[in-house]
Amino acid sequence: MMENRLDFYKRFPEKNVLTVVIGLLIFLYISSMAEADRTGFTDVDNDYWAAEEINWADENGILNGYDDGSFRPSADMTEAQFVTMLVRYFNMDTAELDDMQHWSQPSYIALSNHSLRMPGLREDAVKNRAVTREVIGRTLAHSQGQGAGLEQAVAWMFEQDLTTGRQEGDTQTERYDVNGKLTRAQAAVFFKRLHDSGFSVWKANSMLDMTRTGSNQYTKAVRSLYEEAGIRLYAQESNGFATANQEYYHLFQAYQGEQREFVVSRTSEDNFVLAANVADTLGAPHNADELLNAIMNADDTGEEQQLGTTEIIPHSSDIFILWDEKN
């Protein structure tokens, strides 16, 4: 009759201890190997493309993770988060938070005191929107006393190797993707490059006001369409405009030359109807009905649509409408 396991361990206690020790060592080894494959965040492995920059940003208190231990590297960075990073990176003093304020308002005020008024300074809806690469490029150039016009800022970013661009295009501005958004991982990379290039001192020597006010030829052309929908429109310099409405978020950019880029949030059919009418009014080479049909197809299928030379490209949360005015 086979003896039970308890009797066996009583007769050979040293084997029992040895088994436990070996099991514990194996467990610790496996755990340490798993830990070695990760950064301090549960969702960022050491071989992640931006792991070094994310660790650097975290260790220097510039961009931290979430309470659940994650970093969420692929999440879009909001303007409020970017503003907070700027203030931390350049070690600016901030006032105490008023209970009635947005959590990032002290950082906005700190930047305003250092000659930079960010778009969301007076509007919480803008604070909570994903920051665009245009705003980032102009901000970083301004921080070093450089010209902060769109083309000037982008040229400086390329010159300093802070960007290599991320899409094809005939000009640096197009390659930079000014209307594109920035993930949290990409933000960490930008600031690490800024640090490695020796740009660690704030050098802005004049006021840059990016609060969304005023008008230009494009806002004048379409303002009535937005007013009819109850949506406030903001000019962006002389060559674009934006809204701060969550459902009807639109961002238009007229590049040097003839190319036009119109970004529309993927939210509702009513939003797409408005966008089609706006694009038609702005000179897209197709009527509103044709544009609406293509936008709806892009949203439904998740696939790029082509109307002649007009491209309608769906992204995760937006649809990009690209056309050449000369067509």
In sequence order, what are the residues at sequence separation of 6 or more whose Cβ sits closer than 8 angstroms to the Cβ of residue 140?
Answer: 153, 157, 162, 190, 194, 199
The DSSP 8-state label assigned to residue 248 in this structure reads T
d(CA 299, CA 187): 28
Task: Confirm if 299 and 272 have CB atoms less than 8 A apart.
Answer: yes
Domain map of the chain by residue range? 5-36, 51-209, 217-324
d(CA 301, CA 283): 26
d(CA 171, CA 180): 15
Quick one: three-class SS letters along 17-41? HHHHHHHHHHHHHHHHHHHHCECCC
Q: Which helix (H) or strand (E) covers residue 307, if one does?
A: strand 305-307
d(CA 307, CA 203): 46
d(CA 261, CA 228): 23
d(CA 143, CA 116): 9
- Which amino acid, one-letter code, is at 95? A
Residue 36 confidence (pLDDT):
43
The DSSP 8-state label assigned to residue 163 in this structure reads -
Residue 26 confidence (pLDDT):
61
> Which residue do the tokens 């008023």 mark?
98
Integer CA distances (angstroms), 291 to 73, 287, 306, in order: 34, 6, 10
Print pLDDT tens along the chain (327 aa).
Answer: 455 555 544 555 555 555 655 655 665 555 454 444 446 899 999 999 999 999 999 999 999 999 999 999 999 999 999 999 999 999 999 988 877 789 999 999 999 999 999 989 888 888 998 999 999 999 999 999 998 888 899 999 999 999 999 888 888 988 999 888 999 999 999 999 999 999 999 999 898 888 876 689 999 999 999 989 988 888 887 889 988 777 898 999 998 778 899 999 999 999 999 999 999 999 999 999 999 999 999 999 999 999 999 999 999 889 999 999 765
Residue 205, token pair as written in the block: 């020597």
Q: Is 48 helix (H, G, I), strand (E, B) or coil?
A: coil
Residue 8 confidence (pLDDT):
46
d(CA 302, CA 319): 10
Residue 259, token pair as written in the block: 């190319």
Residue 308 confidence (pLDDT):
92
Nearest to 116 by CA among 148, 74, 85: 148
Residue 314, token pair as written in the block: 């769906």
Q: Is 53 helix (H, G, I), strand (E, B) or coil?
A: helix
Find the Cα–Cα–Cα–Cα dihedral 81, 84, 88, 89, rounded to 10°: 60
Q: At what angle do helices 184-196 and 133-143 cross, to 10 degrees?
A: 20
Q: Is 154 helix (H, G, I), strand (E, B) or coil?
A: helix
